[in-house]
A and B are shown apart, each in its own frame.
Chain A
Amino acid sequence: MKKFLALLLSCLMLVSVMTACGEKAPADGDEGTEKVLNMRLAKGLLATDWAATTNTSDMQITWVQVFEGLYGMDEANGGYYELLADDIKVSDDGKEYTITLIDAKFQNGDPLKASDVVFSYGVAKENPRFNYVTSFINNIEAKDDKTVVMTLDYPYSAIAHTFWSIKIYNEKEYTAAGDKFGTVPHKAGTGPYYIDQYDVSTGVTLKAFEDYHGGKAAIDTVNYKVITENSAAVIAFENGELDYFTDVPLSDWENIAKAAGEDDCDLAKGNNIRFMSINYLSDTNNGILGNEKVREAIFHAVDKDAVVKVATAGYGQVAYEYMPSDYVATSPKVSEGKFTTYDFDAEKVKSLLKEAGFTDADIAAGINVGTILTYGEQTADKGKAQIVIQDNLKACGLIANVECAEAANVTPRMYAQNYDIAIFADSGNYDYNNIRQQVHSESTGMYIVDFAAKGASVEGTNKTSPFNWQRLEELVDLGVATADTAARYDIYTELWSIVMDTKTILPLYHQATGIAWSDRINVETINPTYYHLVDFSWAE
């Protein structure tokens, strides 16, 4: 009996292991001898609907390869270009846009119609996540099959970002799928690839769309495999299991660049900038951060070069601007010297602290400036920057604690101005109006410094804003209502100058984006974030 039981259990265990291990994952596909482009997904694709994807690795698939908007975004050179829009005419008052569509087909074979655009904007308007790019749209209607008329509540010069952000669905495919849309493969986009196989756990397979309006992509099949760990992804690339590797961990850049060869890798300047903010309304240490001299001292205590060296393995760049001026035409250039910058200066820190009323003994003992808060992993760039800044401050007689936790827990605290010093990322788009979220009191996200001092953190207190926040908000409104690039440049220069003078927000560094690819492929254009598979081809 015992022998029988032991034998039975052993057999059951072996059979269960062997049979199930033999199952083939959809991501591997039945490629046979077909050449397949192997890509990495840092996390499982959470949805096949562009509107339901929130993290960058998902958006790299749904926002660029599968769906398209009226405009595309030219990351390599900055700005936007017409994609599904053939021509856009703006009325004299800047409130009516007449959009003519190109001749394009959806992946299911249906022609692109104005009604699909109207439907897609309707869906986006109902989604609170897209309020920031749709709230000013008053009405949108189809004039005929190829013409859409969009009416705005007020002129909005940053509308190009809306045209890029809102992707167009095939209405029929979307409604037919009902609640299932986004959870299964579909052909509801106009992009160069459609989703052929989808498994949230293992990955996704894309197939080239035969009738793509820009011509069929050179690579027929693209296989995305979920590889969550960076170290495993590095080995997979070095081992030839990946053909294209974006967001290479910078600590491994040298090895990856060596494995790829100098012609097959690129270190692009990311458009995402890391900032440090100081909550001037904080009560810490008797409201020490409300003292302008102390804030300025903190800014001068930060050694940005050291931060870049540690946080980006030396591959990033020191930042002074809100957006990279080489990507965004309306972004004020630091080289023009029209706004204040803050560089590391230990002597100046001491003199500023003395001006603030602190003695040499206070400085020697260390002045408490609260806690430096950030989100993500402690080993990621913001976590490392936090440690360097803590060390920088200490060297100048300023004592700070550090706290790093999940974004889900930390960002609500930042938005509620419940912090002392914070490190965060911003600016992942190409219109300067994006700054509204940081400086306008009616902004619903990223309003980390309460310039107007009317948030929850000051309710019931006598605190008031020492800043000209009304002018800041005027400039934001003026900037978005002005179409002329030069005029917008001047407006945003004044705006950024005011922000810098408040000594509350300090740009720290531009993150570098490492991209490497195998010698099996050619990559026509390098984009730091949203690569275009349609630009890839097999090497001869």
Chain B
Amino acid sequence: MTTLIFGLLIGAGFVYLYSREDIKLTWYDWILLAVAVVFFLLAIVNFSQSRAELEPKAANILLVSFGLPGVILTAVVAVRAWRSREALAE
């Protein structure tokens, strides 16, 4: 059920982003975004499962290890999207 909810949210997010006319993303932006989502999912899943394993240190390390690349990739796409929006506005 959790997987389904996550899937629906991610799918809805991509559809929303795709349908925004003021944001134009190139094909490799979409790939970067997809990779970022994978990193976020790995971070969340491994964090919660490691907590369930009674390994809080491992949970924190895995959250940062997978979460940080996700944040960086998302930031790169966000900056590019912001620039494309400004370019479109001009």
Do the two chains bind? no
Seen from chain B, the residues whose Cβ lies within 8 Å of a Cβ on chain A are: none
Seen from chain A, the residues whose Cβ lies within 8 Å of a Cβ on chain B are: none
